[in-house]
Structure 1
Amino acid sequence: MILVTGATGRLGGAVLQTLLQRTAAQHIAALVRDETKAVAWQAQGVSIRVGSYNDLASLDRAMQGVEKVLLISGGGEEDGLQQHYNVIDAANKAGVSCLAYTSRALRDPATLVNQLMVRHFQTEAYIQASGLPHIIFRNILYMDTLPLFTGPTVLETGINLPGGQGKVAYALRSEMGEAIAKVLLADTCDNRIYHFTGAEAYSFHDLAAALTELSGRQVAYTDVESSVLADRMRGRGVPEVAIERTIGFMTDIKHGQEDVVSTDLATVLGRQPTSLIEGVKQLYKL
């Protein structure tokens, strides 16, 4: 039995989709906070376990009969790190044979500006200290976030972000989910760290060129100051914590934190990950 946490999120959904294609539903369980959001999975035979990372008793119940657990990292809650620890402790208590975790592919955790990302490496350390057999998936920034970063009027206004010449080896969330599922279905749990990235790292200049090619309209990238982006976001009523994190992402991109390139994703998928030009075509509907 494989238990997928965060099962109603997009990454969890992508993992479940591939699992259902490759193994019987009776071997799959899903941890969800809201059972009504998991009706479709339940209809396909997935065992639904209701609970949350904060509810220790629910975690104990969710682990019953489970051999492998996929801990999908939580959101930005202040106690997010403790939530991760709770799942790891519950898995250890239940004697699961393998714990997998979705971490982040970043070049140097010690110099990160976006402090939210640091908890991934703290979680990794806790897993390693737990003694549990484990697998760590260090995932690059989702290509799916690009429309959020550029905004809906990018073809008219261009890309105006403080990313400098930094590059990111973007990969699609769906392909990461597919690869994670394939690894979970393998018999091995050998404490390996996978780096799931695209085959090439791209700058915002590269993104602008792809948008120009696909739309037939001239799209330029302008490297603006962080304060310009922050003021623009405040003008749209974006909360300060979200502004701070977005600036953190951009600063880390500028400093080369996200330009890690690995062949792990291509190897597990059995094909090259989706390129920037193909991904942009899908994501921007061009």
Structure 2
Amino acid sequence: MEKILITGATGNLGKAVIESLLKTIPANQVVALTRDKNKAADLKEQGVELRLGDYDDIASLDKAMEGIGKVLLISGGRAQNGLEQHQNVVDAAKKAGVKCIAYTGRCLKDRNTLANHLMKRHFETEDYIKNSGLNYILFRNILYMDAMVLLLGRDVLDTGINQPAGDGVASYALRSDMGEAIGNVLAKYDCDNRIYDFTNTETYSFYDVAAALSDLSGKSVTYKPVEPDVFLQAAIKKGLPEFVAKMSLGFMIDIENGQESKVSEDLENILGRKPASLKEGLKILFNL
């Protein structure tokens, strides 16, 4: 079997994918792309090969692709030139003769009506991959349940939930479940130009989140929908940078508009079990 290169290998999703791969294939078939080998020392100890590379450094990407059969491109976050960075990875893979490229995008209902415009980059990256001529796998991940900690704050049991999401629902799933499933696909499935929608098996509103936190904590946690401008002002007052506050607002508006409400059986089927439920996930995330 040819080697599999994982970009973003020291991030939370990258590590979850590699952990999943190591349960199925030999460590010497897994390659981790990192900007700092010191941050990937734990991967090296497990027998994973480390290669230095940066999405902005084309020469390093070309070198990292040598002898690679399959690449997982984990999206590069909030960088202003994020789309160009993704394109650099795809170009390097094509130049090196990589047989398959996989990408971690987002499971959203309508790319044309997104409030969070940063999410459009995922679909633009998918378009670029499809037009590259490479065989591909596209993983469209629903909003991580793990994001609840950032969106709601660790003090949510005392403050309650105050979000501009109305009655909107989302099929949140744990990042670890998605990482496990991605690893399973990369190790066991063909690169057949397929799209996987990784979601939970049901949707949840913030009323459901409040009820689950109440049950788990024994406290009365309530959800109060707030107006977008009220939310934005409160977030900035708490010390959030304005662009972060606006991005969080975009997530909430998209939830209210049903962008995160898709439900698919793909994640359950690839895991061979149901993904963690809302209550199970919140128990882990908030140490309840």
The residue aligned with 2:126 is 124
- Report the CA distance between 1:43 and its aligned residue: 1.2
Match of 2:64 in 1: 62
Which deviations, in whole Å up to 9, do the C-alpha atoms of 1:31-68 show, x marking residues without a partner? 00111100010111111010110000000000001000
**Does the C-alpha gap of structure 1 residues 58 and 115 become closer, same or farther in structure 2, counting only changes over 3 Å?**
same
**Which is further off, 33-42 or 235-244?**
235-244
Spell out the pairing of 1:164-203 with structure 2 (5 A cutoff).
164-203=166-205
Give the match's secondary structure for 1:67.
Answer: strand
Give, as a single letter, the amino acid of the residue that structure 2 aligns with 1:13.
K
The corresponding residue for 2:156 is 154
Distance 2:149 2:46 in 1: 32
1:238 aligns with 2:240: yes
Aligned to 2:8: 6
Aligned residue in 1 for 2:86: 84
2:29 is matched with which residue? 27
TM-score (norm 2): 0.98
The answer for the alignment partner of 1:17 in structure 2 is 19
| Residue of structure 2 in register with 1:220 after alignment | 222
User: What amino acid does structure 2 have at the position aligned with 1:264?
Assistant: D
For 1:253, give the aligned amino acid.
I
In 2, Cα distance between the equivalents of 1:26 and 1:152?
A: 39
Find the aligned partners of 1:175 and 1:117 in 2 and give their Cα distance: 21
SS class of match (2:32): strand
Mapped to 1, the partners of 2:276 and 2:179 lie a distance apart of 13
Q: Tell me if structure 1 keeps the 8 A contact 2:154–2:286.
A: no
Which is further off, 183-192 or 230-239?
A: 230-239
- Structure 1 segment 85-100 matched on structure 2, within 5 A: 85-100=87-102
Deviation at 1:235, TM superposition (A): 1.3
- Identify the match of residue 210 of structure 2 among 208, 211, 214: 208
Q: Which whole-Å deviations, capped at 9, do the CAs of 1:193-246 have from their partners, x for residues lacking one?
A: 000000101000000010111111111100011112211121122111111111
Task: Please give the alpha-carbon distance, in whole angstroms, between the structure 2 residues aligned to 1:187 and 1:62.
Answer: 23
What is the letter of the counterpart of residue 51 of structure 1?
Answer: G
> How big is the shift at 1:187?
4.5
The answer to which of 223-232 and 60-69 deviates more is 223-232
Q: Which 4+ residue blocks in structure 1 deviate beyond 3 angstroms?
A: none
Q: Secondary structure at the match of 1:143?
A: coil
Which shows bigger deviation, 186-195 or 175-184?
A: 186-195
What secondary structure, in the 3-state scheme, does the structure 2 residue paired with 1:178 have?
helix
- Post-superposition offset of 1:261: 0.4
SS in 2 for 1:77: coil
In structure 2, the partner of 1:283 is 285
Where 1:41 maps in the other structure, the secondary structure is helix
TM-score (norm 1): 0.99
- Give the SS at the match of 1:279: helix
Please tell me whether the aligned partners of residues 87 and 125 of structure 2 are also in contact (alpha carbons under 8 angstroms).
yes
Distance 2:71 2:26 in 1: 17
Tell me by how many angstroms 1:21 deviates.
1.5
Secondary structure at the counterpart of residue 21 of structure 1? coil
Identify the range of structure 1 (8-17 vs 238-247) with the bigger mean alpha-carbon deviation: 238-247
What amino acid is the match of 1:176? M
Structure 2: give runs of 5+ residues left out of the alignment: none
The 3-state SS of whatever aligns with 2:122 is: helix
Instruction: Output the amino acid matched with 2:21.
Output: L
Aligned to 1:269: 271
**2-side partners of 1:204 and 1:242: how far apart?**
20
Q: Work out the CA distance in 2 between the residues paired with 1:137 and 1:235.
A: 36
Measured in 2, the distance between the counterparts of 1:45 and 1:242 equals 37
- How far 1:262 moved relative to its partner? 0.2
Of all paired residues, the percent bearing the same amino acid is 56
CA RMSD of superposed structures (Å): 0.7
